[in-house]
Amino acid sequence: MNAPMTLRARAQAPVKEVHQALTDPAAMKVWLAEHAEVEPGRYVFWGRYTPEGETPRQRLSHLDDTSVRFDWTLDGEDTTVELSLAEDGGATIVTLTQTNLPDHGEAIGGGGSRHVMSTYWSMAIANLVDHVEGREITMLCDFTDPAMRVEVLVDAARSEVYQSLIDSEKFRRWFGANVGIEPFVGGRFAMGGFDMDPSPAKVVELEPDSKCVLSWGDGQMTASWELADSGGKTRLTFVQSGFGDTDYGAWLGWMSGVAELRRFLELPNWRPIWVSVDIEGMPEGMLYSDQG
């Protein structure tokens, strides 16, 4: 059996406040799910923002002042999720583990709900951190809608957002992954770096400070972003298409990165929320993390 997936993030809020967000149904409906119920012996969430969310599938096994643990049946398989909180000098370290998931190699391009869990929880925890720090969340993924398009406001100039999306070094800082970008039409976009990505995307459209379109393979798979001024901020429109109607894993990976992009550009003393990431089968050097 694979080792549990582990994600660890830092929220600039006391443990008590983070625990409240984890266990208050009204708060859960902001950062996690369309529907949520928490009562003695019961911790469930479901709806369109939850994989296989037609009905609650969680079974609570433990809840106290610093942790919640539940079993969650996905793809007909039992998994166990635990969220635990630890004080960190006035901040809170949020640690999430989930068992019985495919490793990174199996998850890429794989179908089923268990294949999206690493990026699903990355997005959820990013939302949780923003919520407890008093910020608007980035997005909730609608698992009933195959149209993968979202608009996000970033409180920064359009030129700053553009450079953060097209400059390899800046992109690495906020996305938390090595990447190679050749910022010209016909250039390569290689997740993990040029040496690790044998089939990189190609830049097929590029308009300075405005637009970029990436294409994979025969051109049927694309990801694009457009920038526009909006009330002193920048409206970022991100679209993914051609990856398959249910490839929410890649979509959530992009969007959990956008959550960090917003923080990178908006917070004066920015540091990554991620303390560490441990996903079975992830190639060494693909991701890096803040161990501070």
Amino acid at 132: V
Mean per-residue pLDDT pooled into runs of 10, the chain (292 residues): 88 98 98 98 98 97 98 97 97 97 62 91 98 97 91 97 96 91 96 89 96 89 95 95 76 94 96 79 43 40
Find, among 71, 94, 92, 75, the residue nearest to 83 by Cα.
94
- Ordered strands of the 148-154 beta sheet: 148-154, 233-241, 221-230, 211-216, 201-207, 188-191, 179-181
- Tell me what pLDDT residue 282 has: 44
Q: How far apart, in whole angstroms, are the C-alpha atoms of residue 39 and residue 9?
A: 26
- Tell me what pLDDT residue 107 has: 45
User: In terms of DSSP H, where are the helices of 152-247?
Assistant: 158-166, 168-175
- Tell me what pLDDT residue 291 has: 40
pTM (2 decimals)?
Answer: 0.91
What's the first-to-final CA gap in the chain, in angstroms? 30
Per-residue pLDDT tens over the stretch 146-158: 889 999 999 999 9
- Tell me what pLDDT residue 286 has: 38
